[in-house]
Every structure is written in C-alpha cells, then in structure tokens.
Structure 1
Amino acid sequence: MERSRPAENTGRALKLCLAAIASALLVVCVWFVAQLGRSMSRQTNRTLEETATFLTSLADYRTESNFSVLESLADVYFQLRDEDREDILQKRAGQSNFSGIAVLDAAGRMASPEGREYDLSGISSVQAALEGQTQVSNLIEDPRTGNKGVVYAVPLLQENSIVGAVAGWVPQEHMRRVVDIGSFGGEGYFQVIDSEGNIVVGSTQKNAAGGEENFFDLIERRGELGRGSSLGQMKRDILEKQNGMLYYTLDDGMARVLNYHALQHSDWYLLSVVPQQVARSQMKQAWLMVGVIVLLFLLLIGMILILNKRGSEQLQRLAFVDPVTGGFSRTRFEMEGSKAVRAAPPGSYTLVSLDLQKFKLINDAFGSAEGDRTLKYVHEVIKGSLGPGEYLSRTSADHFNLLVYKKSQEETLRLVRGIARTVNRYNEKLEQKYYLPITAGAYLIDDPQLPMVYIQDRANVARKFGKESRVGQMYSCVFYSDLERRRMLREKELENRMGSALDNREFVVYLQPKVELEHDAIVGAEALVRWQDPERGLLPPSEFIPFFERNGFIVQLDLYVFEEVCRLLRRWIDCGVKPVPVSVNLSQLHLRDPDFLRKYQSIQQRFDVPPELLEIELTESLAFESMDRLQEMIDEIHAIGFCCSLDDFGSGYSSLNMLKDVSVDAIKLDREFFSGLGGESEREQRVIESVIELTKKLGVRSVCEGVETASQLEFLRRVKCDALQGYIVSKPLPPEAFEKMAFGAPVGRPGEDGADIPNVK
C-alpha cells in the first residue's frame, strides 16, 4: 500500500501536469486565436477607413468641382450675349455633373425654356446664395419633374451687388453613381445621410438594408448595437463633425461594421458598411482546429500565422483587385497612380481613358460570361503593352484607365493604335468579322499635384469628344487641351487693359481703299481698327474684336474709330485735299441705345465734317433681328446726312427680297458670295451678274469686298460692278500710306511744311 501511493501520487502529478500543460496550451491557443480575431478586425477597419477616406475625398472634390463650374459661369454671365446665355448654360451642364443649370433672379425665381416660372426661393441653398454664400441643399423634389436631387447655388454679382443666383441641379441618381460602388468584393457598400439621419443617397448593393428613409430609425426599429457602440454617441459625433465607428446587427441576422466620415460643404456624412462575416470567414476555420492545436502546439502557431497571412491577402484582394480581370481595382489604381505621378517630374505621365465601342452587343448576344472573358482578354492585351512603372485598371463596365510613361502625343497615339490592332487581331482568320473599335482620351499630366479624380476627369472629357467625332474608325484618341483656360486668361488680360489702351490711343485706324472699276480711281475707304500694343506689337482685329463684341466694349471702340475718322477727314479738308468718303462699321450692340446716332452726329458736328463724307456700314444680319427696325435705322442715318451701306450681303441671312425692303446707298457683296470665281463656275457667275444688274436698276451702288485674284477682278469689271476692295488692290493701310496712294503724298497738318498740296483729281 505504501509502495503504491508514490506511484499513485506520481500518476496524479503527471495527470495534473498534463492537465496543466493542456490547459496552458489551450489558453495559449485561445489567446492566439483571439489575437488573430483582433488583428483581422483591425485590418478590416483599417481597409474600410482607407476606402471611406478616399471616397470622401472624391465626393468632396466633386462638390468643389460643381461649385467651381457655377462660380465660373457667374463670373462671366454678364459678359455673354443674351442670345448665347442659355446655350452656354446647357453646354456647361452637359460637360459637368449637373443635369441642368439655371440663373435665378433676386427673388429666387427661374424661367423654364417652355416659358413657365418656378419659385425656388424656399430652397435653403438658393436662400444662402441670395445672401452671398455658396451652399448645396438637402435632398428635395424637382418642382418640374418630381424627381429627387440637390441644388447647388452660388451668388450672381453685378457691380458688386447680388442680383440673383446661379443654380445647378444634381439628380439623386447622379450622386448614387459616385457612392454606389462595391467594396470587399461587392460585400461592402456606401450610403450618404444628413445630420438628422435621413438617407440622401442610398445603395443598391446586395447587403444594403432597404425600406427605411432614416438611418437612425433603421437602427432603432430593426437593429441591435454591439461592441459598446452607442447610437447617441454617433449622433453627437455627427453634430460635432467627428468621424467614428458603429457595430450593429439588423433583423436579417447580418452583423455589420460601419465607418462614418463627415463631408465638406454640407451637413452630410458618408457611411461605409461591411459585413463582419467578411473578416470572420477565416476565424471559423481557426476555432474548428482548436482541438488539434491543443495536441500540436507548434503546428498551431504555424497555422495561425498562415491563416493570418491568408486573411490579410483576402482583404487586400477584396479591396484592391478587380474581380473580372484580376488586375488593379479602381481604388488600387488611383492610390498607386497618385504616388507615381507625384514622385515624377511634371509631364512624365499621361492618363489614357479607353472605351470599347459596341461591347454591349457581346453581352446581349452571348451573355455576361462571354462579356467578362472578353474584358479579361482586352485587359491582358493592354497589360502586355505597358512597361515598368505603368498602371492599368478597369474602372467600370467596358472602360479602362491607363497611366503610362509617355511624354508626347505621338507616343500615346502609337500605344492606342497598337492596342486597337492587337485587340481586334482575332478577326484575321474569321470569315465574318466583329470589330471592337476603341475610343480614347488622353491627358498629359503637367500638374502632378492635381487629385487623381481630376486627372481622370480631364481624360474622360477628351474621350467623350473623341466618341462624338469618330466615324467608322478602328480607334480614335483625343487629347485634353487647356485652350479654354488660356483663352479666359487672355480675355481677362484684354479686359484689364482695354480702358487704358483707349485712353492712351493705342487703337489705330487703318484704311482699305475702295476702287471704282470704270475709271480705276480710289473713290473711298473703309476704316478698320488695329491695336498697337506696346508689348505685343500690332494686333489684328481677330484677337480682340470678338471679345469686345461679347463684353460690350465694342460700343466705345466704334465711337472712338468714328471720331478718329472725323479727325482725319477734318485734316484733309484743312490741308486743301479733296477728301474721299470713309465708311465705318457699326456693331449690333448699339441698338440697345435707341439714341445712339445722336452720339455719332455730335462727333461729326464737333469736327464740322460734311455728313456725306461719312458712311455707316450695317451688317445684313440685322435683318434677321427685325426688318422694320433695320429700315427705321437706315432712315435715321439718312436724316442725319450720312450714307448707309449693307455689309456682308450673301453671308447667310440675305435674300434678293431684301433689296426691295431696305433703301441703302450701297450693297457690299461678301467675299464668300463669289469666292469660287475663276471661270469654272458658270452658275455662280450668272447669279452674281444678276445681283449686280438688279442693284443698278434699283439705283444702289455695288461693292465687292475680299477680291484677291485677277480672274475675279476681270469678271467684276466685265459685269460692270461699281467698285471693289480687296488685296488685289491693296491691303488695309496706315493713314500716311493711304494718303500717298490716294493723293500722291502724305497729308500734313495745316501750317506744316508740305501740308498744303493741290487737290488730286
């Protein structure tokens, strides 16, 4: 008995030791599994927060971009012609995220193209804009269609006073496209709520809970919070613009983890949601192996490490790998692309946006599986064309983005051409071929600090222009141009300098001779303006006249030119020279002032110039505005004593019927009217001959402008055209050169040597 006790004690001790070892192993295993769970949870939260941060930045950038579009329109609105404003508003809407852009008056009213009026003053963002702030509204219904969306609004200023607002409508469907993307392999989803919990933008992803319009109500009615989460804390965070996490389970039994991020420019929050089972899928396997791990401690450590690595790789794959092509997801592409672009010198990379035309027919005819196989094939073709440090991603449907190390358009064109040929190479042996044309847009990245979303938008803008212009081509590639921005900067420079240039007499008058064909004598001249810029030299009218027409400065410039012509005629008269009549152009903008001709008469009387030496040239497009008003104006010009001619006859609106309705002294046939003259167009010659013959019967002088060739000159002489002007006779000349040509010598001022020259017959 005594001998057995030690054995029993030893056995008992061994059992206790084994039990202790087993317990220790079990504790260690449980600790490791718990650590694994926490590690995977942290990895899930980190990946979720990174993705949410990126999407928040995207949404904030879109908001800033929308405000930028409206502010740029507000800056130039009153510089636009009335008839161009609506077209420009709708064109900018088509090039941006807005479905429509409108200008509201100071009371917040908007007139629709159909003539109906809508009162939008009750919308919060409109009220804010009328008070001088930029703001986006909460979700509202469109008073015209009943569709939901939001209204962006900015103040509209005129002479530093708020006279209205520029507002843009973004439908809820457009906002959903930004956030309605899947994460974690399509298991996660995104939503947007306001500070009251109302769902502004929902999600159509499969795990998104529907049926509720308020997120807080959804949690209170159908949810159960977990992990110490508090709905009250979330509400407080939202009111204080703080970010945070929430764990909850809905009545569908699915546990979810939520990350909420504040958006700028509004009281909205981005909710990023992922089912916890995505992170727990590997945990279930770990718990099933606990029994084995107790016996095989070392193996357990190895397996835990392997599972941890696999779990991390799966999370990375779900977040950063495209499920169709196996390549970079859009998120991974933008992350890696941003790093590469910012690390390289400006102008090193080009962003190319590719779109497969006719791809939808593949899905319709052969099914989505064959469509996915085609997309993977195209992805592999493009990938094979890339070099080190270049990136590729399928961004959506059949669209691909490439970030390539290309410094010139020629290199990019070769790349796109090669991709198009290789993609369609499978057709070489087919009897019935089916081609996939490619439309591309490219942007050479000259500013590495631009957000990747902005860079992609520029390439997409270029691609859309290419899609519109491509006709029957295997590929097309359009490059983004910054010409619009440069044009606006140039126009701003012109606007800043035009007033001082007028005061400094930098605008100079040139004269183009009018030659009478019967006697080959100079019988008049047309006054044309040039800008003698101290820095850039002599500027042609094409560089400033169109802009002055748009901003209204052309009215002051016309009066300035008329005054210079009167001063010149006065000098000729004072020097004893027999002057020739000089014609000046009149902009349509003068019609806004019903008494504008009094200003012309006042200048003429101040210089005491005989009115018959002055001729006003009206463009025939005025007839398109109002034939009655055109005739009234001609009568007023004749009442003052000025001559009157109809310019640009034949440029677009004119008809022979006009000749009986307007009593002008002369008609100037536009150069396009007879640009084909050369003996080969008998039909055109007969038309011109008939017009000139008709003017003679009506007692109206005929002048052909833009005559450049000897054959045109001889034809016009043969059909007895009264006069012509054009480069065949002379280009526009400075006054001194014109005087030498018309009078035999420059005309000096009275009292100067050589000033008093005899009249030239």
Structure 2
Amino acid sequence: MKRRHLSVLLAAAVLSLALLAASMLLYIDHVNSSLWKQSAASILELTSQGSNALDTFIQKDYDTLQVFASEMSERPSDDQVWIQSNLASFESPLKDSYFCIDLTANRVYHNGGTADLSAEAAGQLAGMKDQGVLEPYNSAQSGVRSLGVYKRFTFGDGHSGLVLKQHRLEDVTDRFALSFYNGSGFSYVVKNDGEVLIRSSNKNSNRTFKNLYDIIDLSGKNSELALTSFKEAMTDGQSGAAVFSYNKAQNLFCYVPISSVEGWYLVSIIPNSVILDQASNIINWTLLLCGLITVLILAIILIYNRSSREHRREVRQIAYYDSLTGLPNFEKFKLDGGSQVAADPGARWSVLYIDLTGFKLVNDVMGFQFGDEVLRYLASVLTREKAEADIVCRFSADNFLMLHAYKERAEVGALCQRIIRGMNGQTIGGKQDVPLSVHIGIFCLEDDPAASDISLMVDRAHMAQKSIKNGRSNQYCQYDSGMRSEMLRRSEIEAVMEKALADGEFTFYIQPKYDVDGSRVVGAEALARWIQPGGKMVSPGEFIPVFEQNQFILQLDEYIFTRVCERLRNRLEQGLPVVTISVNVSRVHVRQEDFVSTYQAIKDRCQIPDGLIELELTESIFLENLDRIGSIIRELRAAGFGCSIDDFGSGYSSLNALKGMPVNVIKLDREFLLNEGDTGKGAVIVRSIIQMAKKLDIETVAEGVETPEQLAFLKDAGCDMIQGFIFSRPLPEPDFARLLEEDA
C-alpha cells in the first residue's frame, strides 16, 4: 500500500516537473520570439534613422547647390574670374569639393582652375535629371573614390550648366554606415536592382560581393518566393525585413529606401544567431533576476509576517483616527456607532453635534498653533465627560460628534452643560481665561425612530446645531421636526436672494424715535424689509439670520445704507425736515477691513452732513477684539457718524469696555422691560444703566416699548428717547416723511 502511495507521489512529482519543464520551454520560446521581433523592429528603426540621416545630408547639399546655382544663373558662362571666386567662397574646411560645369562649352570649373569635359562625360551629364546623386566614381582631379551631388541650371547667357558637390566616399561611409551588435552586422547602400554602391569600411564587413541578390542566391536554402517578394518590395520602394541564408547562416535583412535618391536603399544585414544570443542573454538575466526577486519576496514576506501586527495597527490608526486629537474620525464613528445602535435597538440613543464657535477668528487672531491647542483641549473635555460606552469623534475642522446612550432625557442636557462649563475660562496654550464657547445640536432617536442610520442621526443633530443663533444663551438645542422645514426654507431664501436684491425687492421701513413725552420725533431707525412680488413680506427674523451666516448681509447692509443716504440727500435738497437716522450694521460687516472706508465713501458721495447718520452695532460685537472695535468706532466718529450700541445689557458688554468706547447712544435691551414686572430687578438695572449713561454723556433709547406702564417707568428713570409700538410701528418711507412734515 505504501509502495503504491509512493508511486503515485513519484508519478505526481514527475508529472509536475514535466509540466514545469514544458511551461519553461514554452516560456523561453515565447520570450525568444518576442525578443527577436523586438530586436528586428529596433534594427529596422535604426536603419530607418540612418536612411533619414543620409536623406537630410543629401537635402542639405541640394539646398547649398540651389544657392550656388542661383548665383551662377545670373552670370555669363565665360566670366571665369567670377566663377572661380564664387567656387572659392563655397569651399569648406572639409575635404568636399565644388565644381561648375558648362555643359554647352564642355568646360569644367574648379577651385584649382579649369579643364575640358570629354564628349562622353558631357553626354552622360546632359541626360541626367535636374538634380540627383552620382553613383560612386573615381575623381578625375584626385583619383579618390567619391560621391557627387549635383543640380542643373542655366547660365545668364543661355548655356546649360551643372553645379556639383563632391564628397570623398570614405567620409560618407564613416559618417553614415551603421554597425550592429559590436561589429557583427553592417549596413550597405544598394540600388533596387541589388548593386552595392556604398559598403561599410569596418574590417569585419563583407567587401567582396557586388550585388545583394548574388549572396542570397548562392545559398540553396533560400525560398524563391521569399526572394521574389524581397525584390518586388525593393523595386516598389517599400520598407521591411526578411530572413535569408547567407554565409552558412541565417541573416536578417532590414531595408529602407533613401527618399532623396530614386532607387537607392539602405540595407542592414545582421546574423540571426547574434540576435538570438542577445535574446538568450536577456532570458538568462531575466531568469536570474526572477530568482533574485523570488528570494527577495520570500525575505520580505518573512519580515512582513513578523511586523504585520504593528503595521496593521499603524494603518488602522491612520485610517480611523484623527492625527491632531487622537480621537476616532467619522468613518470609525460610523462603523462603531452603527454597530452599537444596531446591536441594541431598544436603548435610548442620542447624537451630539458639537461646534466650536468663532474658531476661524481664533485661528486668525491667535494663530493656528493655538487653534490646534484649542481643538486638543475640546477633545480632552469630551473624552472626560463621556460615559464609558459613548463614542466621540472629530467630524471636521472644528466639529465633533458624540454617540450617547441615556436613561432619562435630562441626562443629555446635563452632559451638554458639563461640556459647556468645561470650555469656559480655561487656561489653554499658556493663555488664561480664554473666552471659548460651543454650540451643541442634539438628536434623540426616540424623536424620529425612522432615522436609525448613524448618518441620518448626525444630519439631524447638525440641523439642531445650525438652528442656534449667535450668542452665548441657548448653547445647546434639541432637534424637532420643524427644523427640517427651516432648513428647506433657508435653501429657498438663498436660491432667490441675489435676484431679489437685483430686482429691488429689498427696501427699508422707518420706525420713529420720540421724546419721552411722545410730543415730537427726535430720530428714527431704518429697518430692512423684503417685499416679494404680489406684496408678500418676508419676516426679517427669517432672512437676516440666513444672510448673516452666508454673508449676503454684507450686500444688504450696504444696499440699505446707500438707499437711506440717497433719501436723506433728496430731502435736504428739497429743504424738507430731517432727523438722525440709525442704520443697523452686522457684526459680519464690522470684520471687513474696508468697512469704514466703504461707508464713509457712500456718505461723502451723497453729501450727508455729520450727525445725520447713526450706525447701530450689536452688543455682541464687543466680545471680539476690543482694541480693534474701539479703533473702528473712533474712525466712524471722526468720519461724522453717530455710533450706538444695540441691545445693551443683553449679557456681552463690559462697563470697563464701554468707558473706553466713544459711542454716543446706547439702546436698552427690551428684555429688561419684558421681565421688569417679574422680580423688579430689571427696573433697578435699567435705572442704573440710564444714570451711568448720563454721567458718560451718552444718550439712551428704550426700544420695544408697548405699554403705558413701561413708558411711565422709563420717563421716571430719565430715559432720553422712546422707540416702540406705543407711539409708532415701523412705517414705509413715504408715511414717515408725512409724519415728519406734520410734526414740523
């Protein structure tokens, strides 16, 4: 039984070796054939290049002789002195010679003098074409074997002439003869009837045969059909290659016509064995290289197997983790988060979308290195506050995600509050009390169970985050179904805003400011309005936040400001009464480097007197670089603008900062009036702000005043101006104009 098993193994081994040997033989034969074809194509290409080089050489001679002939054709044939002089000017330092032949007088001019042309030679030359190449001949002057290129012309007196440039055949051979495979193969210039005109001067080349077809015919091994095809190709001016037996061996014949001389060919003859030896060398080196590569691959596999665990860990780190914070990236979050949600569908899942507010400003003002420190700090806060099973990732530049499972919904809000507290007043990158804040959007899966895909959960959390307005209050928000409608509405607004501005759909209403008695109009505020075709009005609370986020507010602010200035100029020119108009300026606009110069240019163009335009800046602007904001306000005041702080007391301002700001008006936050009746603290704050403003020589305006009780309180507190529905709603500009005229 064992013997039979051994026999089967031996038979299998022998068969495997036989298949391997057969495969190798087939491979070697295929490689031999491929390499031979490549070598033949390469030799044919080199022969073609040699033919082109010889063509170029002859064509240059034609061009030179054309110049020579053109000059000769302007002179008579007997002007020997001029002809000799012209011949001398064409002589080159090479051993080439120039001749001018008068075919009518049978006279030859050359640099050494003149000579008579024999009648036989004259007859031969007279029957030649307009230009061409003479077959190799022995020079009558030097006796050296030469090659001549000629061109015919007519002398000025009508004599037929010919100019000839003569090269030593040895020079032409040395310059253009090709040698292949270390002198084993050579090229020859032959006529299409096989006559050899120029042969290689190499000592190894065949110098005995006179006709190419003779050496092919000498061997009885050559196919008559192949030889006939070869001759026809040569006669027809074709290029190609053929294999013939010559000198007891197979030889490759590559032939290419010389296009500048009719009937001439450049033929390269290379022993086939040399080409095959070259192929064999390549195969041997290839096999050796394959062996070395195989050994190298085996070594690499061994090394790879030893280090694969570490390598896989590094690849995993690169593919699934953020290099700056060390947190998982979004791909890892989707994989792990999706698996967790799918594995426990009964759990109460939530996704938090955390956005670091004002991060671009942090990078611009504090530098990118500090920005990186902020991101790493936020990552550490999220890692510290998350539960053990929670997943945190860095989603994009300054956005992070957290997948959190909760038991009670209040836990999610508490988690957000801990994250917000963790970002307040911290020392980061060596800087103390850095004012950082985050906006957090929350999506709880129980609010929309159909959105169980982790990407959909992230989208809805993002919608909740985007719904948070600028400011510190309400720093986290939970998703509800209305947010999707809001996002769609935002897209609708953005799709038509450019056209609406171009079509003049934006205008401004004016809300008067009265003295506390309500007896006269002492100022007004211009408010942007969007009235669509058909009279439908889009609420400012709907489009202003969108424009601030996409920065279209820059165009709208300038448009409203320009229209207000133009209207003031119109009333001034008509001698009509005017009051100071305040115009809102977005915080986005204040960040522009050309903000002051742009607004000043519009004011100057409309020739608005100083003090008639007041720019309202929201109090939140003062959270930013106080030195820069102070500089901007001083520039505005110097340019003749009034400056007011809107929503003063809403939580951002600093009394110390106000002391250094040259503002002339503050507008009290209407929240103080709405809440005053609840605790009475609002009344105390309002009285304090008004008294402080008076001591700083700053006027006060109370906006949003709606009830007689509010008015009475503000009058008693010493407020300077009242703005609100108790006296007037915002009015279209024509209605406000009539109000001014009635008041006057």
What TM-score, normalized by structure 1, do the two folds share? 0.38
Say which one has the larger Rg. Answer: 2
What TM-score, normalized by structure 2, do the two folds share? 0.39
